[in-house]
Amino acid sequence: MAMARVPFISCAVFTSLARGITLHRGLSASGLVDDGESTILNNDAVESATFEGYLAKAVWAMSARSIDAASAWKTQYLGVEDDRQPHDCGSNSRFIISNFTLGTPLFGLHGVHAAGVSGARSHTSGEISVERMEDILDEVIEGTTYSPWMDNHFALYRYDLVPLVSKFRAAGQKFVVLSWDADGLTFYSVIAHVAKSQEIYEFISHQKPTNAYEIVRFPVARHYFGGRFESLEADNRNVALHFSQTTRDLTHAVHFFKDVLDLDPIDQGTFDGGRFAIFNLSTHESTSEMNMHYGQVQLWE
């Protein structure tokens, strides 16, 4: 099962031209903690500092036509809080998830139409526009069968997937359900693509969605729990597990993470003609070393 080769670009520290994540960085030196906003340290302090952070935001470029529909989708299915802001240089579908069981109390989901004043930047992405990329995803993702294009997604843990499946089915939202093994348990993924956008969401739980008509077996784990999986209480709060994307050259991407971010994979492997590498970006001791290793970036080839 070879992974799709998709020309997305993203970075772990700043948002990309097409899609990506933001890593909130904290700086600790001499027992003081910097929230990344106000404190300036001298060179000696910086050299002795320990950098820590956590996954704080997922971002997708979005065409102007898709803002309203993507906003309505997130409101309907994700229980988000509105964080949309007026701008002269574009529009946005910015929301916050605040009902988390673990991790950061606020997580940003941002769809951004950054066309610039009078559309000055609307064609700077090259021959393929953001709108065309959204159309390509609509063409290649049928919605009810697994596609490697779905490996470009943002994943959340949610204890009970049954209400989500019921809501999707009632509204005519297409989705696929996968099962896979990790930490000696069977997990389930419900994956849905937001039409006319690059947004794809994967909801993960160890509780089987008993109202799913079909469950497709996936050959490897779709999240690295590292033996630290926790069975959370039966509610519909969330955990931001990971941001995933495909790459046409996994070796090059792994070298990039090492050379630029000084990160090594916490897990990597091969399967059915595909390869993957998983990085842990939530480096604060209260998050990364406990509680399901959430805050990952995954790369699939």
> Looking at the domain assignment, is residue 62 inside a domain?
yes
- Please give the Cα distance from 189 to 53 (Å, whole number): 27
CATH classification of the domain holding 217:
3.10.180.10
> Looking at the domain assignment, is residue 161 inside a domain?
yes
> Looking at the domain assignment, is residue 30 inside a domain?
no
Residues 126/174, Cβ–Cβ less than 8 Å: no
> Looking at the domain assignment, is residue 170 inside a domain?
yes
The β-bridge relationship of strands 153-158 and 200-205 is parallel
pTM: 0.80
Domain count within the chain:
1
> Looking at the domain assignment, is residue 24 inside a domain?
no
Domain that holds residue 206: 57-300
> Looking at the domain assignment, is residue 213 inside a domain?
yes
> Looking at the domain assignment, is residue 264 inside a domain?
yes
Each of the 301 residues of the chain gets a pLDDT tens digit; together they read 444 433 333 333 333 335 555 444 443 332 323 334 434 444 444 444 444 566 778 889 888 889 889 989 998 998 888 876 665 545 567 788 876 666 666 788 888 887 667 666 666 556 788 888 999 999 999 999 999 999 999 999 988 999 999 999 999 999 999 999 999 999 999 999 999 999 999 999 999 999 999 999 999 999 999 888 877 666 667 788 899 999 999 999 999 999 998 889 999 999 988 999 999 887 655 544 446 777 889 999 9
**What does 98-120 look like in DSSP terms, one character per residue?**
--BSSS-S-EEEEEEE---GGGT
Tokens, residue 233: 């209480």
> Looking at the domain assignment, is residue 151 inside a domain?
yes
